Chain A
Amino acid sequence: MTALRTGPPAIESLLPHRDPALLVRVVTELAAEEITCIAVVPGDHPLVERGRAPCLLGIEAAAQAAAALEALSRAAGGPPEPRVGYLVGVRDAAFHAADLAAGWPLRVTVRATGSAPPLAVYEATVEVDGELAMTATLSTYLAPDPTQHPGPDAP
């Protein structure tokens, strides 16, 4: 994976999320099937209490990083376009940290490990100050029609 040399794309061009739900702030490294982003939990995020959010919010940061990777892959050199996707499963997750500080940078790395469009599986890590805060294997569903959820048979 290499650092981006042409400048990162504006995150709003990759993701449909907006503040305070938008956690991923910038893409720092990109490869064909892997992305690293910096995410920040806004102080006014609804899951923040006394300046800290539960570590499980790292799953949302990872899902947003996966969506950014998918949008960049789909753009294939053209202008990226955000699409609404759904987090539909977490096979396994470990929360090594009790919580995450609002306003503090999270290093989120996501690697695509399986894909059967519109479904995809990703391995994700979230690090804080170089320490592992969370690992997870998550599944996403990118609906051709954004109003369409995969329903109860999602993997």
Chain B
Amino acid sequence: MPRPEPRSEIGFEILRSAADGDGWALAARVPEDSPLVAGHFPGRPIVPGVALLALVARALHDWRGGEGEMLGLRGLKLRRPVGPGDTLALRLGAQAARGAADEPAPAEVAFELRRDDRAGEAVATGSARVGARPPGHRP
């Protein structure tokens, strides 16, 4: 698997991103001064759900490189809010591919994001449609 190019930490502190059995695991912390909660919301800082998806996208890219673009989502549930100081554990695992038999099917990758503490509460679950994006497509 080619080494992914370095990517920014998108407002998180990435603690680990590595193969985990037949999947991938990433651990991250939300710094107390994370820019992700600026303006979201004044007086009640909550990490936007899309920032959690960006963390999933980052892990997909780390795992699959250029074949790991997030092309779509299915069944996303945002179960609990995440805020500054929270530490998160993300696990990715491949699912059966869907698609026509005569063309490469994008992979389905299940993801589960939990608080990395004693309770280990799930904060986000779902699956991503993953593959390579055709070059030059940029509306």
Known: A16-B42, A21-B39. A154 touches B79 (CB 8 A): yes
Q: Give the residue of A46, A93, A94, A149 whose beta carbon is less than 8 angstroms from that of B36.
A: A46
Q: CA A88 – CA B46 in complex, angstroms? A: 13
List chain B residues, Cβ under 8 A from A98.
69, 133, 137-138
Q: How far is the CA of A54 from the CA of B42 in the complex (A)?
A: 24
Q: Is A14 an interface residue (CB 8 A)?
A: no
Q: How many residues on the B side are at the interface (Cβ–Cβ under 8 A)?
A: 41
Please pick, from A18, A47, A63, A94, the residue contacting B54 in the complex, using a CB distance under 8 A.
A47
**Whole-angstrom distance between the alpha carbons of A87 and B53 in the complex?**
12
Taking a contact as CB atoms under 8 Å apart, the answer to whether B39 and A129 are in contact is no
Q: Does the CB pair A84–B44 fall under 8 Å?
A: yes
Query: Which B residues are in CB contact (< 8 Å) with A146?
Result: 44
B interface, CB within 8 angstroms of A: 7-8, 10-11, 34-36, 38-42, 44, 48-51, 53-54, 57, 69-81, 121-122, 126, 129, 133, 137-139
A residues adjacent to B (C-beta < 8 A): 16-22, 46-47, 49, 54, 56-57, 59-60, 63, 84, 86-99, 128-129, 131-133, 136, 146-147, 149, 151-152, 154-155
